[in-house]
A = this chain, B = another copy of it.
Amino acid sequence: MSRKASSPRPGGNPTLIDVARVAGVSPITVSRALGRPEVVSDATRRRVLEAVRATGYVPNLAAGSLASSRSRLVAILLPTIANSIFADTVQSLTERLAGAGYQTLLGLTGYLPEQEEALLEALLGRRPDGIVLTGTQHTEASRERLRRTGIPQVEAWDLCARPLDMLVGFSHEAVGRAVADYLLGKGYRRISVVSLDDPRGLRRYHSLLQALAEQGIGEVAAEILPAPATLAEGREGLRHLLERGQAGEVVVCSSDTLAQGVLAEAASRQIAVPGQLAVMGFGDLSSAAHTHPPLSTVRIDGPRIGQSIAEALLARFAEPGLARNPLRMDVGFELIERAST
- Contacts from A to B (Cβ < 8 Å): 13, 56, 58-66, 71, 80-84, 87-88, 90-91, 94-95, 98, 101, 103-108, 110, 119, 121-127, 145, 148-149, 230-232, 235, 257, 260-261, 264, 267, 285-287, 289-292
Contact = CB atoms under 8 A, between A and B. Distances in A.
A174 to B, nearest CB: 26
Contacts of A60: 66, 125, 127
B127 A62 contact: yes
Contacts of A84: 87
A261 B104 CA distance: 32
Contacts of A260: 287, 290
28 contacts: A13-B149, A56-B145, A59-B125, A60-B66, A60-B125, A61-B125, A61-B127, A62-B62, A62-B63, A62-B71, A62-B127, A66-B66, A81-B90, A81-B91, A82-B87, A82-B88, A94-B108, A95-B108, A98-B119, A103-B105, A104-B106, A105-B106, A106-B106, A231-B286, A231-B290, A232-B290, A235-B290, A292-B292
A58 B91 contact: no
Contacts of A110: 95
Given A80-B91, A83-B87, A103-B123, 5 more contacts: A61-B125, A62-B63, A103-B126, A105-B106, A230-B286
